[in-house]
Structure 1
Amino acid sequence: MRAVVQRVKSSSVSVKGEVISKIDKGLMVLLGVEVNDDERDLDYIIKKVIKLRIFDDEDGVMNKSLLDYGLEILVVSQFTLYGDARKGNRPSYVRSAKFNDGILLYNKFIEELEKLNIKVSHGEYGANMDVELINDGPVTILLDSNKEF
């Protein structure tokens, strides 16, 4: 499982020109599910996302997490995080989970965050979405449950 985590001042997702989700200050997470991902991958990414100390403390040092401030998360499915463009110019997506497998872990990701009393908004899995954000910093962190980076 991979996640691109962006600290945002605000973010929104639209489908067919209609805003379906919107958050203020918090994290916007692009979430990619790999073909062999399971609950262990899910747990790893959830723990990393919610505990990332990428918000400023009282001294202006990135030392606080989303949990410390009770901020929001916007989750957007992103199968292209497993696009492999090392060979040729057209990325291969063979490592991306199939729709039915990916949507299960995507929905579980959202459910687990909600169980932690985190305010979660999300995109529409598999839809063509327009994502807007104001990246705060900018701060962007890459996470991979296989620790490839």
Structure 2
Amino acid sequence: MEIKLTLNGERIVQDIEPDLLLIDFVRKNGCYSVKRGCDTSNCGLCTVLLNDKPVLSCSVLAMRANGAKVVTLEGLQEEAKPLATFIASQGAEQCGFCNPGFMMNTLALLKENPHPSDDDIKEFLAGNLCRCSGYEGQLRGIKNYLNYLEEKGNE
């Protein structure tokens, strides 16, 4: 079956198998930030934006994205660089495996709610599994990033 979608700004038309998962489709198309971690939709490592909303690509058939816009971390490099720096400054990137999911969900949260409370951040990131850091470093990094954006906006 044929799928047509926009992946990180590039129009793609491909023949795919009907049971192909979105995670496998985006990885086949060079988006290696999207990772397989649990295969049970519990870890957040496979998060992509589907029409600007975060979804777990391991639990979505690729065909569900037909006609849609899919964005991975590769498509958000400029936007994600400062956030990655703030997360790293807090020691929250220890192994780095979970960072793409955290960054995708944080960027999606900020599009939806540019001034989130700590509880808003925790709720939005609840589905992201980190086995190394205990989440406090990520939370501090995100809050520092929000302060940076606020200061930048006041310039």
Normalised TM-score (structure 2)? 0.25
Normalised TM-score (structure 1)? 0.26
**Greater share of helix:** 2
